[in-house]
Amino acid sequence: MTHEVQLREEFGPRLSDGSLAYGFRVSKIDPYLSLPNCDQVVLDFTGVRIANSSFVNALVSGLFEQHGSDALAKLVFSGCLPTVRVLVEAAIELGMSKHAERV
């Protein structure tokens, strides 16, 4: 099973509110990463023109902090503009480093 999230449909073309991203992650993404029959979770950034680090960190770094490298096997990031991609990559690194500190 694949779970796909269209971020523009959920939040519009500007991703800026970290508290909204956190709540969304906890309720709409985390549960799917834990399901054994969910092979892939796609975060589709198509149509997102701008994002800030607060939003992307709240959405992405927590996934990697909680799930570690298991998240790498299931998560797919699609449709990222270069400026958003940089933020996603930084959030992945942040989450992985926090996960390593906890383990």
How high is the pLDDT of residue 64? 94
How far apart (Å, rounded) are the C-alpha atoms in residues 18 and 60? 11
Residues 42-93 pLDDT 10s: 999 999 999 999 999 999 999 999 988 889 899 999 999 999 999 999 999 9
Q: Which of 94, 92, 88 is nearest to 52 (CA)?
A: 88
How far apart (Å, rounded) are the C-alpha atoms in residues 46 and 62? 22
Distances, alpha carbon 21 to alpha carbons 39, 59, 95, in Å: 22, 5, 15
**Mean pLDDT in residue range 9-33:** 96
**Mean pLDDT in residue range 97-103:** 87
How high is the pLDDT of residue 86? 97
How high is the pLDDT of residue 103? 66
How high is the pLDDT of residue 38? 92
Per the confidence metrics, is the pTM higher than 0.85?
yes
5-10's contacts with Cβ under 8 Å and 24+ in sequence apart are 5/29, 5/41, 5/42, 5/43, 5/44, 6/44, 6/46, 7/43, 7/44, 7/45, 7/48, 8/44, 8/45, 8/46, 8/47, 8/48
CB 76 within 8 A of CB 43: yes
How high is the pLDDT of residue 70? 87
